[in-house]
Structure 1
Amino acid sequence: MRYRRPDNTQTDKRGFRTKREAESFLATIETSKLRGEWIDPARSRVRFAEIAEAWYDSKIRVKPSTRSGYRNSLDKHVLPQWGAMRVVDIDHAEVQSWVARLSATLSASSTRQVYLALSGALAFAVRDGRLSRNVATDIELPRLSKSERLYLSHGEVHELADEAGDWGTLVRFLAYSGLRWGEAAALRPADIDLAKRLVHVRRAVAEVRGTLVWGSPKTHEQRMVPYPSLLDEGMDSHVTRGGRHDLVFSGREGTVLRGGNFRRRVFAPAVARLHVASSESFPQITPHDLRHTAASLAISAGANVKILQRMLGHASAAMTLDVYADLFPEDLTSVSIALDRAARDSVVGNPWAKPSGDGFGRAV
């Protein structure tokens, strides 16, 4: 049996065991053509590995670190399982079973990252006209558990900065500006306005598989971030000691200060010493926790969600609220109080007194 494609070209002959099978198949083809869902079987027989590489090559707008994560997920988990299969032969149940097996050995976050590589490649196949639907949608994924976030107080920030010695200004800067490590490491003197105490975040540098990659900030948006006057002396020293195109915070011989080296050689030992000296009451934080500390200190100083969003460079205020919801518990109470006050002020008299009627304007 032959049938015509939507473009009116004829397919090759295909055999069936019975006339009923042929008629059933033809009915399915005609229905899919009418719905605009018809897929050329020849295009669906492509191997998943080919589609995965095409999808990976198309990811030209993501950050280098994200792209590196996709590559790692494909090579270690996705391609070994699905690479040799035809995309049309991958089904929903198999994907769900695979995700369940992954979650038994990987963290919830890692499982989700690996799954996104598979789902992204299959979605690409749909857009490329090789599949009618993505069978990796509606997969039950492991639940992410929120780990306890650590924040430093003002006093603890200064303790840590003093313990970090020559790197004290960098510790204070991260704790009061909220910049990501890659943004701080990429700062040049031209990015700092000492008079206005403003930092122009224009670029970021990331270490991807041992190689430094320069690019835009995480959300691709430049922003202005303030810092307090207590940093004046330290920032002035760092900004004025080098040329305009040098780095504000640099490693040996003016090279990029790598986060891993800083954490291992300076930050972690300083935190460990304070932790022991304080009878284990000093939080065992990482450099990234200084960004969380900046959010906490800004909120305690009265910063609202929109200001915090701009300061941290989040894509939206909703994202800021989602990340730092635990820092705004009093907002629920303040909203109810404000609504109550507005309602009382909007009417004359005392509407809250119990009415003398039956509620419908009739005396009782």
Structure 2
Amino acid sequence: MANKEGHRRFGSVRKLPSGRYQARYPGPDGQIRNAPETFARKSDADRYLTLVEAQIARHEWTDPTQAKIKLADYARRWIDQRPNLRPRTVHLYGWLLDKHIVPYLGGVELGRLDTPMVRDWRAELLGNGVSVSMAAKAYRLLRAVLMTAVKEDMILPRNPCRIPGADQEKPAERPVLTLAQVFKLADVVPPRYRALVLVTTFGCLRWGEVAALQRQDVDAVAGTIRVRQAYTEQRGVGLVLGPPKSRAGRRTITLPPAVVAVVRDHLAAEVDDNPEAFVFTTESGRPIWRGNLNKLIDWKANVSRIGQPNLHFHDLRHTGNTLAAQTGASTRDLMARMGHDSPQAALIYQHATAEADRAIAQALHEAVRADRKKTTKATGGKGKSGKKAGGKKGRKRPTDRDEAGGEQG
């Protein structure tokens, strides 16, 4: 018995030997596809094609065959197909995927993922002792992977990662050193690493950037350092020298004269004349690994001596960024010094630096008080109505609290 086909404006319906109906249609790429299931009635097949046609018109159509791909396979391919990722980022993504995503969701078909499933996954992570920050990193990776499935591959109609706040890390507040503490730390570490502490702090440098500085990158006359490369630590490979974290990472930074003098002494005592000699190394001349810093300079003991036992080396850059923001530098200038191509981090430091803002508020308050005093003298102590404050009806003179909701003075 020959199959019977029905002709329609979009797609086609044919009756199969089994008596059921099969719907076929051209996708946005022109490829003919079958509906994922057959239908008992021709009218049901027609309604399916009408729905598909509307989805294509609204750019909401998804490929039902691709939706059967397992999340683990799709995510690994997603990482492999991003050539611009730094090696350290590739390693991080792979680790997050294998540690926190694949064991829970790796075997799920993309088309079956939904928001309740993602919510349960995140709750299970947190319930198993995974920190909020680590769960947020895993969530952001999953969201990025699935966003590609939505926007580029048209596998999903919408991203199921729709949990408010799940992408926020909420890290603990990091310590910020005072200027006195910075120089005290530089004094208590071994002399070979005194300049390392000061350059990292006042240059706002990342670990990989300061570790990769060479003699040719330091201008001891102009007082500048040039950041043009950085070390990354790759598991199974070692230290790898490459470009900075971003395009904005390539920058020239001016150091305070007091720090330049220390750098000049360091170059004379510890660094070869070869332009390619690294500025900061171990006593044997090897590059410094982040992991062996504690052993080299007895980090834990020395940060305890300055009253900051929880200080990490990265907090030196954090301190430098904060000190730079306290000078009143513009967002663009902070971005350039910190090596960021986005204003987000600079704005965070500006918002966190409240001293300048309080000074502005106090200055405005003094200006308001001076203006009121001047007005009172000019009117002989009378208000706008021409009556003296605190007149016959006993109306009290408005205080600063009455007019601005704050304390006077």
TM class, shorter-length: 0.7 to 0.9
Change (3 A) 1:188 1:133: same
Contact 2:133/2:170 (CA < 8 Å) preserved in 1? no
How far apart, in 2, do the equivalents of 1:251 and 1:321 lie? 36
User: How far, CA to CA, are the matches of 2:222 and 2:77 in structure 1?
Assistant: 48
CA 33–273 in structure 1, closer or farther in 2 if over 3 Å, else same: closer
Write the distance in 2 (CA, Å) between the matches of 1:18 and 1:162: 85
How far does residue 18 in structure 1 lie from its aligned partner after superposition?
4.5
Q: Quick one: structure 1 residues 143 and 244, their matched pair in 2 at CA, closer, same or farther if it must change by over 3 Å?
A: closer
Shift of 1:260: 1.5
Q: 5+ unaligned residues in a row in structure 1: which ranges?
A: 276-280, 358-364
Q: Counterpart of 1:115?
A: 139
SS of the residue 2:360 aligns to? helix
Partner Cα distance (1:329, 1:146) in 2: 23
The answer to whether the 8 A contact 1:263-1:287 is kept is no
> Equivalent residue for 1:98?
121
**Residues 55 and 120 of structure 1 are in contact (CA less than 8 Å); yes or no, is this contact kept in structure 2?**
no
Q: Which residue of 1 aligns with 2:230?
A: 204
Q: Which residue of 1 aligns with 2:3?
A: none
Aligned position for 1:225: 253
Secondary structure of 2:65's aligned partner: helix
Distance in 1 (alpha carbons) for counterparts of 2:214 and 2:103: 44
- Unaligned 5+ segments in structure 2 are 1-21, 387-409
Deviation (angstroms), 1:227: 1.2
Q: C-alpha displacement at 1:56, in angstroms?
A: 0.3
Change beyond 3 A, Cα 1:189–1:44: same
Equivalence map 1:137-148=2 (5 Å): 137-138=162-163, 140-141=165-166, 144-148=169-173
Correspondence for 1:25 = 48
Aligned with residue 292 of structure 2, among 255, 261, 276: 261
Name the CA shift for 1:85/1:331 in 2 (closer, same or farther; >3 Å): same
Contact 2:136–2:169 (CA<8 Å) still a contact in 1?
A: no
Give 2:259's aligned amino acid. Answer: L
Alpha-carbon shift at residue 209 of structure 1 (Å): 2.0
SS in 2 for 1:218: coil
Instruction: Using the TM superposition, give the Cα deviation of residue 283 of structure 1 relative to its aligned residue in structure 2, in angstroms.
Output: 5.1
CA 331–306 in structure 1, closer or farther in 2 if over 3 Å, else same: farther
CA distance, structure 2, for counterparts of residue 9 and residue 59 of structure 1: 27
Match of 1:297 in 2: 323
Aligned position for 1:47:
70
Alignment coverage as a number of residue pairs: 348
1:86 aligned onto 2:109: yes
Choose from 285, 302, 313 the match for 1:271. Answer: 302
Check 1:326–1:181 CA distance in 2 against 1; reply closer, same or farther (3 A cut): same
SS in 1 for 2:319: helix
C-alpha RMSD of matched pairs (Å): 3.2
Q: State the alpha-carbon separation in 2 of the partners of residues 320 and 9 from structure 1.
A: 49
Q: Using structure 1 for the length normalisation, give the TM-score.
A: 0.83
Query: In the alignment, residue 246 of structure 2 is paired with which amino acid?
Result: T
| 1:321 to partner: Cα distance | 2.1
Partner residue of 1:131? 156
Of 166-175 and 300-309, the range deviating more from structure 2: 300-309
CA gap of 1:308–1:103, structure 2 versus 1, over 3 A, is same
- Residue 68 in structure 1 maps to residue 91 in structure 2: yes
1:235 matched to 2:263 = yes
Q: Is the 8 A contact 1:2 1:12 kept in 2?
A: yes
1:199 deviates by: 0.7
Q: CA deviation at 1:188?
A: 0.6
Question: Are the equivalent residues in 1 in contact too, given 2:326–2:350 (CA < 8 A)?
Answer: no
8 A Cα contact 2:137 2:169, kept in partner: no
Which protein is richer in helix relative to its size? 1
Contact kept? 2:140, 2:167, Cα under 8 Å: no
What displacement does 1:22 show?
Answer: 3.3
Any conservation in 1 of the 2:325–2:349 contact (CA below 8 Å)?
no
Alpha-carbon distance in 1 for matches of 2:180, 2:358:
29
Provide the rounded CA distance (Å) in 2 between the counterparts of 1:252 and 1:103: 44
Out of 178, 181, 185, the position equivalent to 2:204 is 178
What is residue 393 of structure 2 aligned with on the other side? none
Quote the residue 2:174 is aligned against: 149
**Residue pair 1:96, 1:140 contacting (<8 A) in 2 also:** no
**For the pair shown, which has the larger CA radius of gyration, 1 or 2?**
2
Larger displacement relative to structure 2 (135-144 or 50-59)? 135-144
Taking the aligned partners of 1:196 and 1:115, their CA distance within structure 2 comes to 46
Match of 1:322 among 343, 348, 366: 348
Please report the TM-score for the alignment, with normalisation by the length of structure 2. Answer: 0.75
Which is bigger in relative contact order (C-alpha 8 A, separation at least 6)?
Answer: 1
How much has 1:248 moved relative to structure 2? Answer: 0.6
How far the C-alpha of 1:186 sits from its partner, in A, is 0.5
Q: Is this contact kept in 1: 2:79–2:93, CA < 8 A?
A: yes
Instruction: Name the CA distance, whole Å, in 1 between partners of 2:93 and 2:180.
Output: 41
Equivalent residue in structure 2 for 1:3, among 24, 31, 47: 24
Amino acid at match of 1:164: V
Paired with 1:142 and 1:98, the residues of 2 have a C-alpha distance of: 14
